[in-house]
Amino acid sequence: MTTGLTLAAVSVSRGHRTIVDDASVSFEAGTVTSVIGPNGAGKSTLLGIAAGTVRPTSGTARLGGHDLRRLSVKHAARRRAVMPQDATVAFAFTVREVVAMGRIPWRDLKSDVDRVVSDALATTGLTHLQDREVTTLSGGERQLTAFARVVAQATPVTEESVILLDEPTAAMDIAHAEATLALVRALARRGAAVGLVLHDIDAAAAYADRVVLLQHGRVRASGPVPEVCASATLSDVYGTPIEVFDRDGRLHVGPVRRDPVCTGS
């Protein structure tokens, strides 16, 4: 059985610019792969190729060994769930209805929609909001709803599942972000290949197994967290001093702040 999702030498051009340039990336079963890089580096475009929403100018995308272009929308949607950067639903559906939309690819199977949706709501801590219209939610609640929809779509999670998340925690407070990333890890433990675009490099170092660092559309570095998250590489790519330190066997990543505005004294 071939699992995961592989991008081989993919490029995307817009006008005269190449915004993803000859990138090869694998999202492997049971693994969280975080895509990081500065604004405009091409992270969302790369994830869009994997999601099937962006057509590469050259190169191939394979889901479970099959060329993405040859898979039916329904087949692809059963194996691969996607949370885009802006996953907001602009209409007055309830939270429960939005999460249930994740089950659309499964509707011709005897799938237990109510149970799967209830489980996704409970796991993400949204049960108390299930009857609220999504247009009335806060930004963080809306993002959590989009994540719950992906969880519902990806059920049952197997080694064939691929889950792609573009900045899933950008609008969340620290507690909700940590809880969501812990759920993301749990999905990978159950076998899913997870692709996770993050701006928070510290969170990427904590929750990912592998990191793909993009710069100007190219893969600058790719591999296990300690190999890619090196101070010199990150400082060079982001153009600002970044420190990486080990505390209790965990890598921590953050900016070097020499002149703090607030000293706390």
User: Which parts of this chain interact with ligand ATP (CB under 6 A)?
Assistant: 14, 19, 37, 39-45
Q: How far apart are CA 204 and CA 193, in angstroms?
A: 15
CA dihedral for 219, 223, 225, 230, sign (positive or negative): negative
Question: Minimum Å distance from CB 240 to ligand ATP?
Answer: 15
Orientation angle between helical segments 139-153 and 174-189, nearest 10 degrees: 10
Question: Minimum Å distance from CB 125 to ligand ATP?
Answer: 26
Nearer to ligand ATP, 16 or 128 (CB): 16
* Largest separation between any pair of C-alpha atoms in the chain: 63
**Cis preceding linkage at 156, omega within 30:** yes
Question: Minimum Å distance from CB 54 to ligand ATP?
Answer: 8
Nearer to ligand ATP, 23 or 32 (CB): 23
Residue appearing with tokens 């995308």 = 61
Question: Minimum Å distance from CB 262 to ligand ATP?
Answer: 27
Nearer to ligand ATP, 37 or 168 (CB): 37
Q: How far apart are CA 144 and CA 153, in angstroms?
A: 14
Q: How far apart are CA 98 and CA 91, in angstroms?
A: 10
Question: Minimum Å distance from CB 120 to ligand ATP?
Answer: 26
Nearer to ligand ATP, 66 or 218 (CB): 218
Question: Minimum Å distance from CB 196 to ligand ATP?
Answer: 13
Nearer to ligand ATP, 84 or 102 (CB): 84
Nearer to ligand ATP, 40 or 139 (CB): 40
Find the DSSP H helices in 127-261. Answer: 139-153, 174-189, 201-207, 225-228, 231-238
Q: How far apart are CA 195 and CA 32, in angstroms?
A: 6
